[in-house]
Structure 1
Amino acid sequence: MTEQFSFRLLAKDGAARRGLVSTPRGDIRTPAFMPVGTAATVKAMFPQDVRATGADIVLGNVYHLMLRPGAERVAALGGLHKFMNWPHPILTDSGGFQVMSLSKLRKLNEEGVAFQSHIDGSRHMLTPERSMEIQRLLDSDIHMQFDECVRLPCTDAEAERAMRLSLRWAERSRKAFGDAKGKALFGIVQGGASEPLRIESAKALAGMDFHGLAIGGLAVGEPQDVMLAMLDIVIPHLPEEKPRYLMGVGTPDDIVQSVLRGVDMFDCVMPTRAGRHGLAYTRFGRVNLRNARHADDAAPLDEGAACASARDYSRAYLHHLVKAQEILGMMLLTEINVAYYQELMAGLREAIEQGRLADFIAETKEGWARGEAKAL
């Protein structure tokens, strides 16, 4: 345990990095995948089961928590960790993306964003200062600057406007954050799919004394090759000694390709959302349990998996639960998916330490290909 936030680089294999983020509430082994606990819960999982999969950290969201149950209420009840029974590190997203994607009506200006709740239509104002205040009230370990995220594709003019506004908001977020002992604040690189804008954003944020830097505005509609091209452009301009977080990403292959390029941290709703809709992620690729071909299959999803739920239940039973819309099916598949993501991260970390990342990725992709071929 430490009283301060810190990051140590432990090993490299090419551009890929193995590191350790230390916080007062525990260490985060990188590359790390953060299960998304948007509204103070990783959907369909008990907190102790999330931890048992190997997760060191989860993510919560300012937008959702400010609307329900309210940041002040969470603070009065002892903070987010106590509230959701997760004593380990928590990162809170700033709310910018959700304001863009979920609010009914919104009006953006230099001050911030005025919007109506998607829940009840109530009116709210979110600014860099209010986002920092909410994250302090929640008592999360890693705060994110307030930014504006635009969907891709967009014009360079729109990307430039949002990027420059996000830089000004970054300065305000940094000032409002102050010097919170044991906490960290990450800046967010924006700039759409424009190389000059991304580089300008990365360089400006690198000079602002953030504890880590995130790459935002990707995984918002663009193909994978565009996302990877932006990573190739941005990462050389990020400080080597600080953690790098790719927001909202992604599929197992997205993660593998991003780790190759030097990304340290990830989050995505994909494994939990897929689990609630009958889709499993395994060493042998994706398995759609809605498919009738599983109805009479007595074999487990993966008899060699570390996750007991992937070993101990037949595909036929999981298919039945999904078709019957039983809650247990959602719980089992969510656990299986989160466990697989954590197993993938553990494999990536070990491979980087051993200098055999290329071999590990080749073996992983071979497993995915075998599973896809078998499914045909």
Structure 2
Amino acid sequence: MTKFSFSLHNTDGAARTGVIDTPRGQIRTPAFMPVGTAATVKAMMPESVAATGADILLGNTYHLMLRPTAERIDRLGGLHRFMNWSKPILTDSGGFQVMSLADLRKLTEHGVTFKSHIDGSKHEITPERSMEIQRLLGSDIVMCFDECPALPASDAAVAESMRLSMRWAQRSRDAFGDRPGHALFGIMQGGVTPELREESAEALTRIGFDGYAIGGLAVGEGQAAMFGVLDYAPGFLPVDKPRYLMGVGKPDDIVGAVKRGVDMMDCVLPSRSGRTGQAWTRRGQINIKNARHADDPRPLDEDCTCPACRNYSRAYLHHVFRSNEMISGMLLTWHNLHYFQQIMGEMRAAIAAGTFDAWEEQFHAMRALGDIEPL
């Protein structure tokens, strides 16, 4: 059986490209992971997600434990079979959603008790329970359970939260045990304070993980602050393990993160934007709701090979969005996911060729042009 492993193939500055090997297939890095919150990438068939070039999906522990429950998914053969996705799946730990969605949560050293946002039922997640849920789901990459403090917060509060997360990381490691072919990632915390980030990285490296996430960013601190942390934080982590930036992001966030040494990212943005009439293209963002598109026979992007651009006009996409037709979200989501994967592929090629800086310059220059002129 293939073991979980990471091989670094090329670097260009801090940017890296390589391959993560798993028993369910290879993940080319840098990798963008579409988010399949409730065992589905909204508005997409699994085979369509694969067709965009995605090597791995993300599933949400919190949502799946509440509905349909991890125990039910396990009885039905695990998450891959349940959602008809044969490639790798990464599951988050549930920590972020508990902090952002749950009502009446109570945090202790032991874990978090909370009421479900669905029906008000009471639940507890501890590091041990998070590992159990993710084992029942059968995900390939498991995230250790951490606490996500809301920023801004005082250094003292961030430090206290980070140290709790490090104790939980050790408990997650202990509970995960020995699971050949499955990987456990630790999560660095520490806000925007270099000393706390370094302390967190050292604690995680001592425990030893298969990969390392940079947590606690993309939570409202702004791009400049996020890039400020990414200028140093990846360098605290082992060179020979994948680095995952959680919850990022917009195309220029992704490019900036890869430039600073990040290997993996996930975000709901391409699918959520697609359902609200937003298309991401090489020339920036398009709002298909706008009246300027009503008579436009041109595609969203004439150089894009996705089905929305190959087969449909802006006028049609404007019409089906205005008419609340389901195909609107389907086509725009497919386009957005295709575009995000196209960016990843181009960055992998540019890093391998040693031309990342030139590629990045062209990327920003195209976006600065803005959308094509109206007819």
| TM-score (norm. length: structure 2) | 0.98
Match of 2:289, SS?
A: coil
Q: Does 1:272 align with 2:267?
A: no
Amino acid across the alignment from 1:191: G
Match of 1:316, SS?
A: helix
Q: 2:307, 2:331 within 8 Å by CA — same for their partners in 1?
A: no
Distance 1:139 1:156, change over 3 A: same
**Which aligned pairs between 1:1-376 and structure 2 lie closer than 5 A?**
2-372=1-371, 374=373
Deviations 1:51-75 (A, max 9, x none): 0000000000110000000000000
Amino acid across the alignment from 2:25: G
Deviation at 1:282, TM superposition (A): 1.0
Deviation at 1:372, TM superposition (A): 4.7
Q: 1:199, 1:233 within 8 Å by CA — same for their partners in 2?
A: no
| Deviating 4+ runs (over 6 angstroms) | none
Match of 1:105, SS?
A: strand
Deviations 1:170-201 (A, max 9, x none): 00000000110100000001111222111111
Aligned-residue sequence identity (percent) comes to 62
Structure 1, unpaired ranges of 5+ = none
Deviation at 1:374, TM superposition (A): 4.4
Deviations 1:284-310 (A, max 9, x none): 111011111111111110121121212
Match of 2:370, SS?
A: helix
Deviation at 1:233, TM superposition (A): 2.3
CA distance in 2, matches of 1:23, 1:55: 15
CA distance in 2, matches of 1:354, 1:308: 29
CA distance in 2, matches of 1:238, 1:321: 47
Query: What is the aligned-residue RMSD (CA, Å)?
Result: 1.0
Amino acid across the alignment from 1:74: I
Q: 1:309, 1:335 within 8 Å by CA — same for their partners in 2?
A: yes
Deviation at 1:311, TM superposition (A): 2.5
- Give the aligned length: 374
CA distance in 2, matches of 1:295, 1:373: 15
CA distance in 2, matches of 1:165, 1:373: 50
Amino acid across the alignment from 2:22: T
CA distance in 1, matches of 2:254, 2:260: 10
| More divergent stretch after superposition (50-59 vs 296-305) | 296-305
Amino acid across the alignment from 1:208: I
CA distance in 2, matches of 1:373, 1:82: 43
| More divergent stretch after superposition (119-128 vs 312-321) | 312-321
Q: 1:191, 1:201 within 8 Å by CA — same for their partners in 2?
A: yes
Deviation at 1:371, TM superposition (A): 2.3
| TM-score (norm. length: structure 1) | 0.98
Structure 2, unpaired ranges of 5+ = none
Match of 1:207, SS?
A: helix
